[in-house]
């Protein structure tokens, strides 16, 4: 039976929220007893205070992670064992889907429908997919002469530090943990300060699944405290970071200032959605354009916020988009009918509103949305027309529901505008001409190019950014494992007999 708003409210009212750090297999407070608070941004109400970990706690967690990595109970265990336990974890996540989704929704203001999809189906699939890879990842044998046997083997890199953002709190946590665990690593992870609750709940399930103590450590805290301590720790081998380009730069510096740890970065974007003049403005195209911009309230790294449209199609496009956008339903994120939830915080809402004002003052035309006249941190999806690439709203990642429509006169102009950005995470192209489609895909320096449909791909396909949208690291696919594996050459001199 379909669940209703009342059902989800009931879960919320009865939920027992765990608020502690998970270090060395135990839930605990910070050494100095510090606390932070998390707010439900849709109501502005305090949900709870929670443990605020600092550098001493990070150090404690890294010691535990190193101890268990060295003793080999996970890192050198049979791949079949790791697989079995990850399957068990997947099952537990599935069983706890409703509670996880409600925690995520109240903590982040995200719609319950998206949360159910992310914590239930996607996260569960994630653990299963990487569980399956645990015993299907092999090294190579080099083609030497008969006087040697050269083995190229993959080994877990060691202790992984992970720092994640608030826009997909559970999914980002799972992306990091599932692949690092399949590779045999230990991990110390810090959720975003606004959204610690679903990650802490995962700690309970990790414990129940039987993952050895110390293999996964979950440390809620601030970027400047726990986050920086992870970046600078001399006994963390690799850091994997998802968040803003600005903080990504800091992780590069932290590495240089400490032990030259590997740094994998998944950063921001300002991705184009290109409609060439031969495309038909179908309902599907409009649905994709609307979701590419406004899914998760635009708080999405691969949001397509520069919609570059062939000039003759702009009027029809804007007319249909305005009608589609009017159908979005803002409101109680726990209501399954709601399609856009709250911004992550009132500070963030104000920042997005500043961008909307800047768009108007720099000469773009606001044709719909941009209002914010209700309790909580909601913003009506905004569409600007006549956006030029030198305007602030075309250059900076806003991370809110602010779409800029940019008319262009040719395919070359579309490419020039699309590529005039420091980012390179994602691009969408609509055209009926196969040669144009392939040429565009080749000439867009982006980690993902979607043709005739907006998608980020799925678990099988690597996800990451060119240019300042990321490092060479990729999430998803078999590529995600590469971040957590070292490559070793074993050269054995042999005497042919
Ligand atoms: P953010 O400010 O960069 O924060 C991300 C994480 O970094 C948080 O856990 C944050 O802690 C921590 N952090 C902040 N300052 C730090 C510091 N000085 N040292 C160490 N850690 C620090 O980003 P956000 O606003 O949460 O998230 C939005 C960004 O994430 C956007 O740019 C978006 O494009 C990007 N994103 C990228 C992808 C991708 O896969 N490419 C996916 C999702 C999101 P606090 O919580 O305390 O601030
Ligand atoms: Mg919160």
Q: Of the bound ligands, which one is closest to the alpha carbon of residue 47?
A: 2
CA of 268 to the centre of ligand 1 (A): 9
Ligand 2 is an ion; its neighbours by CB within 5 Å are 38, 107, 194
Is there a single domain that holds both residue 112 and residue 200? yes
- In this prediction, residues 161-183 reach a mean pLDDT of 98
CATH assignment of the domain containing 41? 3.40.605.10
> Which atom of ligand 1 is nearest to 243's Cα?
30
Q: Is residue 54 assigned to a domain?
A: yes
Rounded to whole angstroms, the Cα distance separating 30 from 414 reads 52
CA of 242 to the centre of ligand 1 (A): 6
DSSP state for residue 145 in the 8-state scheme:
-
CATH assignment of the domain containing 324? 3.40.309.10
Q: Is 267 in the pocket of ligand 1 (CB under 6 A)?
A: yes
Is there a single domain that holds both residue 411 and residue 330? yes
Q: Is 242 in the pocket of ligand 1 (CB under 6 A)?
A: yes
> The tokens of 31 are what?
């050494």
Rounded to whole angstroms, the Cα distance separating 416 from 418 reads 6
332, burial (CB in 10 Å: exposed 0-12, middle 13-18, buried 19+):
buried
Q: Is 264 in the pocket of ligand 1 (CB under 6 A)?
A: no
- In this prediction, residues 302-317 reach a mean pLDDT of 98
Q: Is 266 in the pocket of ligand 1 (CB under 6 A)?
A: yes
CA of 216 to the centre of ligand 1 (A): 20
Q: What is the pLDDT of residue 234?
A: 98
Inter-residue contact 185 to 35 (CB < 8 Å): no
Q: Of the bound ligands, which one is closest to the alpha carbon of residue 342?
A: 2
Is there a single domain that holds both residue 138 and residue 227? yes
Q: Is 230 in the pocket of ligand 1 (CB under 6 A)?
A: no
Q: Of the bound ligands, which one is closest to the alpha carbon of residue 165?
A: 1
Q: Is 166 in the pocket of ligand 1 (CB under 6 A)?
A: yes
> Which atom of ligand 1 is nearest to 246's Cα?
3
Is 203's pLDDT higher than 80? Answer: yes
Q: Is residue 197 assigned to a domain?
A: yes
Q: Is 252 in the pocket of ligand 1 (CB under 6 A)?
A: no
DSSP state for residue 122 in the 8-state scheme:
I
Is there a single domain that holds both residue 277 and residue 262? no
Q: Is 52 in the pocket of ligand 1 (CB under 6 A)?
A: no
Rounded to whole angstroms, the Cα distance separating 217 from 205 reads 12
pLDDT band at 376 (very low <50, low <70, confident <90, very high): confident
Is there a single domain that holds both residue 20 and residue 67? yes
Is 1's pLDDT higher than 90? Answer: no
Q: Is 227 in the pocket of ligand 1 (CB under 6 A)?
A: yes
Q: Is 232 in the pocket of ligand 1 (CB under 6 A)?
A: no
Q: What is the pLDDT of residue 168?
A: 98
Pocket test for ligand 1, best of 39, 162, 165 (most atoms within 8 A of CB): 165
pLDDT band at 375 (very low <50, low <70, confident <90, very high): confident
Q: What is the pLDDT of residue 156?
A: 98
Is there a single domain that holds both residue 142 and residue 75? yes
Pocket test for ligand 1, best of 162, 239, 247, 471 (most atoms within 8 A of CB): 247
Q: Of the bound ligands, which one is closest to the alpha carbon of residue 296?
A: 1
List, for residues 355-364, the tens digit of each pLDDT value: 999 999 999 9
Q: Is residue 464 assigned to a domain?
A: no
Q: Is 203 in the pocket of ligand 1 (CB under 6 A)?
A: no
Please give the tally of structural domains in the chain: 2
> Which atom of ligand 1 is nearest to 221's Cα?
47
Is there a single domain that holds both residue 478 and residue 449? no
Rounded to whole angstroms, the Cα distance separating 248 from 244 reads 6
pTM of the complete model: 0.97
List, for residues 123-132, the tens digit of each pLDDT value: 999 999 999 9
CB burial of 203-222 (b: ≥16 within 10 Å; e: otherwise) equals bebbbebebbbbbbbbbbbb
Is 463's pLDDT higher than 80? Answer: yes
Q: What is the pLDDT of residue 170?
A: 98
298: how many CB neighbours lie within 10 A of its CB? 23
Which residue has its alpha carbon closest to ligand 1 atom 43?
Answer: 301
- In this prediction, residues 451-473 reach a mean pLDDT of 97
Q: Of the bound ligands, which one is closest to the alpha carbon of residue 39?
A: 2
Is there a single domain that holds both residue 341 and residue 396? yes
Is there a single domain that holds both residue 165 and residue 236? yes
Is there a single domain that holds both residue 256 and residue 319? no
Rounded to whole angstroms, the Cα distance separating 267 from 104 reads 22
> Which atom of ligand 1 is nearest to 244's Cα?
32
**Scanning the structure block, which residue is given the tokens 């003052």?**
361
**Residue 362: active-site member:** no
CA of 225 to the centre of ligand 2 (A): 18
What is the residue range of 253's domain?
5-267+470-487
CA of 40 to the centre of ligand 2 (A): 5
Q: Is residue 60 assigned to a domain?
A: yes
Q: Is residue 445 assigned to a domain?
A: yes
CA of 165 to the centre of ligand 1 (A): 4
Q: Is residue 14 assigned to a domain?
A: yes
List, for residues 117-157, the tens digit of each pLDDT value: 999 999 999 999 999 999 999 999 999 999 999 999 999 99
**Residue 301: active-site member:** yes
Is there a single domain that holds both residue 258 and residue 306? no
Catalytic residue among 266, 397, 446, 475: 266
Is there a single domain that holds both residue 344 and residue 260? no
Catalytic residue among 115, 185, 301, 446: 301
Pocket test for ligand 1, best of 166, 226, 243 (most atoms within 8 A of CB): 243
Q: Is 399 in the pocket of ligand 1 (CB under 6 A)?
A: yes
Q: Is residue 478 assigned to a domain?
A: yes
List, for residues 54-91, the tens digit of each pLDDT value: 999 999 999 999 999 999 999 999 999 999 999 999 99
Cα separations in angstroms, 256 against 231, 253, 450: 10, 5, 35
Inter-residue contact 380 to 401 (CB < 8 Å): yes
């Amino acid at each position: 039976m379909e669940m209703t708003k009342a059902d989800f409210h009931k879960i919320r009212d009865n939920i027992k929220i765990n608020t502690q750090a998970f270090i060395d297999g135990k839930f605990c407070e910070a050494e100095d007893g510090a606390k932070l608070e998390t707010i439900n941004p849709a109501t502005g109400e305090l949900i709870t205070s929670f443990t605020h970990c600092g550098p001493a706690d990070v150090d404690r967690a890294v010691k535990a992670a190193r101890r268990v990595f060295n003793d080999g109970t996970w890192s050198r265990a049979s791949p079949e064992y790791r697989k079995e336990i990850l399957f068990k974890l997947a099952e537990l996540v599935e069983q706890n889907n409703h509670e996880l989704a409600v925690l995520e929704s109240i903590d982040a203001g995200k719609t319950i429908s998206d949360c159910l999809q992310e914590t239930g189906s996607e996260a569960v699939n994630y653990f299963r997919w990487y569980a399956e890879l645990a015993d299907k990842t092999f090294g190579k044998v080099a083609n030497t002469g008969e006087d040697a046997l050269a083995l190229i083997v993959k080994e877990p890199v060691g202790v992984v530090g992970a720092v994640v953002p608030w826009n997909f709190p559970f999914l980002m946590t799972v992306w990091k943990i599932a692949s690092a665990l399949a590779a045999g690593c230990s991990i110390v992870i810090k959720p975003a300060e606004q959204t610690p609750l679903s990650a802490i709940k995962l700690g309970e399930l990790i414990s129940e699944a039987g993952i050895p103590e110390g293999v996964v450590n979950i440390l809620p805290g601030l970027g400047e405290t726990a986050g920086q301590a992870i970046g600078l720790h001399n006994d963390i081998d690799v850091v994997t970071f998802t968040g803003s380009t600005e903080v990504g730069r800091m992780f590069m510096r932290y590495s240089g200032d400490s032990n030259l740890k590997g740094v994998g970065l998944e950063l921001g974007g300002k991705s184009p959605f290109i409609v060439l003049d031969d495309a038909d403005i179908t309902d599907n195209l409009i649905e994709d354009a609307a979701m590419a911009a406004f899914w998760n309230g635009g708080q999405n790294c691969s949001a397509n916020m520069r919609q570059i449209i062939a000039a003759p199609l702009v009027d029809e496009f804007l007319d249909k988009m305005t009608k589609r956008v009017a159908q979005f339903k803002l409101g109680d994120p726990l209501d399954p009918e709601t399609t856009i939830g709250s911004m992550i915080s009132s500070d963030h809402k104000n920042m997005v509103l500043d961008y909307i004002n800047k768009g108007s003052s720099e000469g773009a035309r606001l044709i719909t949305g941009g209002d914010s006249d209700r309790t909580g941190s909601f913003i009506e999806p905004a569409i600007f027309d006549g956006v030029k690439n030198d305007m602030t709203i075309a250059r900076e990642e806003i991370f809110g529901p602010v779409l800029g429509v940019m008319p262009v006169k040719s395919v070359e102009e579309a490419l020039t505008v699309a590529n005039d950005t420091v980012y390179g995470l994602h691009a969408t192209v609509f055209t009926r001409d196969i040669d144009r489609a392939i040429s565009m895909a080749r000439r867009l320096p982006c980690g993902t190019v979607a043709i005739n449909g907006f998608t980020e791909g799925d678990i099988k396909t690597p996800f990451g950014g060119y240019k300042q949208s990321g490092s060479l690291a990729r999430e998803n696919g078999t590529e995600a494992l590469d971040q957590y594996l070292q490559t070793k050459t074993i050269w054995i001199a042999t005497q042919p007999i």
